[in-house]
Each structure stands twice: as C-alpha cells, then as structure tokens.
C-alpha cells in the first residue's frame, strides 16, 4: 500500500479521500489556493502546500505545480478526485512519467472515453446500444442541419469533449440550429479546448441510469449495480438514488452485462461509471463513460457496504478484487441530495461566509464546511451531500425528509427548500419521474 498520497482536489471530495487514507494508514498531502488557506482539507491533511491565487486556472488546474510539489515531498500516488484534472489524460501520463501512481485508469482509457464521438463509435462496434444519431464530428451548421433533418427533430447537439451539461442544447427545428451551433461550439472551445460537436436523437422523458464499475489489473471486474440520476437541473444532477425503481431484473442484468463488456473491451482498471439513457419501453442506450469517481458514489457505498475510495487505492496498489467478498444484491435503498449555495429561485451561486452550520443525526453527511467557512465565488457551490439509507425506498425518503428539516446553514442562500420539495412531490414518491422532472415543476424554484 502507498505510504504517502497527494490529493489533487479541494472541498468535499478532498475530505472524503482523506478519510479513507487515514483508515488505511496513508500519510496525506493536500494542495490549496489562496482562497482555501483555512479550508478543511488543508487542516486535516498531514501536509498542505500553496498552489497559487483563487482562480482554478492559476491553482487547482496547475498540473505542473502539483507534480512539482509531489516530487518535492516524495509522494507515491496522486488521487485526482472528481472534476478538475481527474479526466485529463495528459496529467495521468505526466504522473506515470514522474514515477507516481495516478489513482484512476490509464491515460489511454481516459483519452478513448473522453471524446464522445470516438467513444460512441468504438462501443457501437462491439454491440453496445447507442442513441440514434450521427457518429462523427460535424463540419459546421450546414451539415448539422442536414443530419438533423435525416434523424428527425427534436435533436440534441452535444460537445464531443464535453461533460456536466456544458455545450449541450436541445433543438426543436431547423430555425434554431445555426444559433445553437455557434453557442455550443463557443462553449466547448472555452471549457474543453475542443469545439467538435455531434448530434443525437432527443429521447422524450428518458431516465438517466448509471452503472458503477471497478476493475483490477489482474482481469477482475465488478459491476456494483445502478444509480438513478434523473433528477437534474440543466443536465446537472441534484438527487441520486440506488437502486432504480425503473429497472426490471432483466433490464438490470442486461445493463450490468453491457457495462462489464465495455470494461473488458477497454482493459479498464480502477473505478468508473457507465451512463445510459433508459426509455419507456425498457430499451437503454450508452451515453458516456466517466473515468473517475462520481460525486454520487456514496449511495452505492451505502447499499453495498463497500468503501469505493479504499478500493480505488487497493486496486491502484496492485491488489486483486478477490481479496474481499464479491458484491451482493443491494442492501436496502439509499438517496443522496446535493445541498448547494445557490439562490433558490434563480439558482445563481450565492457565495459568502456561513454563520452557523448544524447537521442532523441518522444520515451520512459528506461535507467540507463548518460555521465560519467562506464559500468562494471561484468554485463549485456544493456545500454538502446528505445521504439517507433505509430498508425500503419509502423509509429512505422519510429519513431524508426528516433530516433536511433539521439542517441549519445560515449566512447564504441554499437550495434546501427545493430539495424538500422534490422529496414531497407525489411523482417522485411514486418513482415515475424522468429527466424532465424539474423542468416541468415549480419545485425547481423551491416553491
């Protein structure tokens, strides 16, 4: 096992990784910006080092500075968390070249799945179902208009190198296509340095289902069941649960088999997530692969009893998955909500200093804040993930509703009322919702 590990991230996920490292007896090194000097991940680590000013381009995205620190302090491994450098194949390769283990898949696997046009074409060639569409980068708005006419409106225009809903637009007719193309291409270039776009058929009222996978370097691979991620605002997940009430045993088995087929085809090692869209008929389609730990990994941990971060570390250290028991059927039901510092009506970020923070008992809280924490406008507004587990879905909902009623976060505005509104909505309670749930409800504004 590693003796010393650097966490190339901040906030909630850095604290989460610190916890598993401590349990495994691994010394920890964190990095921070000027805005995060007093942050929890700085105080809890054995060592912490300054990267630069608050903007991520001058701090947490400084791969060169992170590797310089890693070499200077003699770490064995780097865990990138999620976001930031976690799916950057150049950073993973630079770690390898420096003789430092990157806690994640190979640079080659990250690159193969990072560009969605190529990933879609490659996986379609091995029989993985994909959303009907155009499997090549579009040359311009004129080709997009021709392809959309052939596929049939509505269509989804997407950035090939994108993620998190950035560079993605629904288009209902040819008159809107040219403006949308310029908008998506501009965003894709700004966020990802790659303006390639492609088109897919828009699926009406789908479910967003993902499968957690984990594989070792010895040919062992697990699929750890699904997470339901259909409660989204502007393609950003707000609530996740496991297992999904939408899957029959037959569809669950087929989806798991496809996920493992992809893992074995890629020769994939470490944790990853296969994302699918599920239609009303039970047909499912590959959407993308996230070659990292997901924000919503706690719901899988609660229904499997596994520590996914610890397993990532063990796999990266060369251990076999058969060192522990094989995963079993999900144990009960887990639901996670993301508490964010946002205006509950406009959903614009609401940075500021938290006056008072109090968390409820009886649920899992993954957070990095406490009374007095300052939320910077430079970073994601995530305050905490609140996760409830029950023997049934109904019990998990009741537990989470009670817990949210006991949350105290003052000093800024949050989406707490919107989260409570989701849990109280009859359609959510029935489990019959789709990815359009928030778009069609006033609960999206917390009223």
Cβ count near 345 (within 10 Å): 13
C-alpha closest to that of 105 among 255, 293, 344, 371? 293
φ, ψ at 78 (rounded to 5°): -130, 125
The whole-angstrom separation of Cα 430 and Cα 134 is: 36
Check if the beta carbon of residue 229 is closer than 8 Å to that of residue 296. Answer: yes
Judge contact between 92 and 325, C-beta under 8 A: no
Query: How big is the CA angle at 397 (ends 391 and 399), to the nearest 5 degrees?
Result: 75
Sign of CA dihedral 212, 118, 123, 207: positive
Residue of 218, 265, 236 lying closest to 112 (CA atoms): 265
* Cα separation, 288 vs 305, whole angstroms: 26
The first and second tokens of residue 334, run together, are: 């887990």
Three-class SS of residue 402? helix
Strands (E), 80-171: 101-102, 155-159, 168-171
CA dihedral for 184, 348, 277, 173, sign (positive or negative): negative
CA distance 192 to 125: 26
- Active site annotation includes 292: yes
Strand (E) or helix (H) holding 337: strand 333-340
Nearest of 228, 215, 211, 324 to residue 275 by alpha carbon:
211
Q: How many CB atoms lie within 10 A of CB 252?
A: 18
Partners of 236 in the beta sheet?
233
Q: Which three-class secondary structure string do you get for 43-103?
A: HHCCEEEEEECCCHHHCCCCHHHHHHHHHHHCCCEEECCCCCCCCCHHHHHHHHHCCCEEC
- The DSSP code for 349 is B
**Out of 292, 314, 338, 413, which one is annotated catalytic?**
292
Q: Give catalytic residues, as residue numbers.
A: 292
């Amino acid at each position: 096992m590693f003796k010393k590990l650097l966490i190339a991230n901040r906030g909630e996920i850095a604290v989460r990784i610190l916890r598993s490292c401590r349990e495994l007896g691994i010394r920890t090194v964190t990095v921070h910006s000027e805005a995060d000097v007093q942050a929890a991940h700085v105080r809890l680590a054995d060592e912490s080092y300054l990267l630069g000013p608050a903007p991520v381009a001058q701090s947490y995205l400084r791969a060169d500075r992170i590797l310089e620190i890693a070499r200077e302090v003699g770490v064995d491994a780097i865990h990138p968390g999620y976001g930031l450098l976690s799916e950057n194949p150049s950073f993973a390769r630079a770690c390898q070249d420096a003789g430092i283990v990157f806690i994640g898949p190979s640079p080659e696997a990250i690159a193969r799945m990072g560009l969605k046009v190529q990933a879609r074409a490659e996986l379609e060639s091995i029989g993985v179902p994909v959303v009907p569409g155009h499997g090549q980068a579009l040359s311009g708005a004129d080709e997009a208009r021709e392809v959309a006419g052939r596929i049939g409106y509505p269509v989804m225009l997407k950035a090939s190198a994108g993620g998190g809903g950035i560079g993605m637009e629904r288009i209902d007719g040819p008159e809107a296509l040219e403006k949308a193309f310029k908008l998506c291409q501009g965003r894709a270039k700004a966020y990802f340095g790659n303006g390639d776009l492609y088109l897919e058929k828009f699926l009406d009222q789908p479910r967003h289902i993902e499968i957690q996978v984990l594989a070792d370097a010895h040919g062992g691979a697990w699929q750890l069941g699904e997470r339901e991620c259909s409660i989204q605002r502007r393609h950003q997940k707000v609530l996740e649960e496991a297992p999904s009430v939408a899957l029959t045993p037959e569809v669950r088995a087929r989806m798991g088999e496809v996920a493992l087929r992809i893992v074995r085809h890629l020769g994939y090692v470490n944790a990853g997530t296969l994302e699918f869209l599920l239609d009303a008929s039970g047909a499912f389609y590959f959407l993308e692969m996230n070659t990292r730990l997901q924000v919503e990994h706690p719901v899988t941990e609660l229904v499997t009893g596994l520590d996914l971060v610890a397993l990532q570390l063990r796999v990266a250290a060369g251990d076999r998955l058969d060192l522990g028991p094989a995963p079993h059927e999900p144990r009960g039901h887990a639901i996670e909500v993301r508490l964010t510092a946002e205006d509950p009506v406009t959903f614009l970020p609401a940075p500021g200093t938290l006056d008072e923070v109090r968390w409820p008992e009886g649920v899992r809280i993954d957070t990095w804040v406490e009374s007095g924490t300052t939320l910077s406008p430079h970073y994601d507004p995530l305050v905490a993930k609140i996760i409830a587990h029950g023997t049934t879905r109904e019990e998990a909902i009741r537990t989470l509703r009670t817990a949210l009623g006991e949350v105290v976060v003052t000093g800024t505005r949050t989406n707490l009322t919107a989260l409570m509104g989701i849990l109280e909505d009859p359609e959510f309670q029935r489990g019959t919702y789709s990815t359009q749930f928030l778009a069609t409800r006033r609960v999206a504004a917390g009223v």
